[in-house]
Amino acid sequence: VLLHLLRAGYALHEEQNNRSKGIVEGGKSKCPLRTIYFESPCAFPEINAFTYETAST
């Protein structure tokens, strides 16, 4: 949940910055937030999938 909130907050921040500069973007933007993820055998598969997907984009 925390990674979703961080990514959504960053996207909102970038959108507001671009709007104030008159820049219109329609594509995906990269989210340059650094995080550290420690793999755990008891993590839900969805957490691992989301983490790997986010790291690869």
Interval 25-45: pLDDT, tens: 655 556 667 778 888 888 899
Residue 28: predicted pLDDT: 57
- pTM, full prediction: 0.44
As a whole number, mean pLDDT of residues 6-16 equals 85
> Residue 50 sits in which domain range?
2-56
Report how many domains make up the chain. 1
Residue 24: predicted pLDDT: 58
What is d(CA 28, CA 16) in angstroms, rounded to the nearest whole number?
A: 15
Cβ-based neighbour number of residue 23 at 10 Å: 10
Give the angle subtended at the CA of 49 by the CAs of 11 and 55, to the nearest 5°: 50
Q: Which helix (H) or strand (E) holds 19?
A: helix 2-21
**42, two tokens:** 């008891």
**26, two tokens:** 């329609």
Residue 56: predicted pLDDT: 80
Give the angle subtended at the CA of 11 by the CAs of 4 and 1, to the nearest 5°: 10
